[in-house]
Amino acid sequence: MDDKIIVKTKHGELTLEQLAEVQPGLARLMKEIGDRFHVLYYAAKSGNWKLAEHEQKVTISILKTGATLRPKYHQDITSFIQSHLHPLAESIKARDWDTFERCYKNAVDETNKLHEKYGYGFIHYKLSKNPPDYYDLSPRE
7 forms beta bridges with 14
Q: Which residue has the higher pLDDT, 75 or 18?
A: 75
Domain ranges, ordered by start, for the chain: 25-117
Residue 63, Cβ neighbours under 10 Å: how many? Answer: 20
CA dihedral (110, 103, 89, 64) in degrees, to 10, reads 0
Q: For residues 111 and 139, what is the distance between their CA atoms, to the nearest angstrom?
A: 28
CA dihedral (26, 44, 88, 68) in degrees, to 10, reads -20
Q: Are 67 and 60 in contact (CB under 8 A)?
A: no
Q: What is the pLDDT of residues 36-65, one digit of tens each?
A: 999 999 999 999 999 999 999 999 999 999
pLDDT at 76 over 70: yes
| pLDDT number for residue 104 | 98
Architecture of domain 25-117: Up-down Bundle (1.20)
Q: Which residue has the higher pLDDT, 23 or 92?
A: 92
State the DSSP code for 39. H
Mapping DSSP to helix (H, G, I), strand (E, B) and coil, where does residue 53 land?
helix
pTM: 0.88
Q: What is the mean pLDDT of the chain?
A: 94
Range in 13-17, 64-68, 108-112 the model is least confident about: 13-17
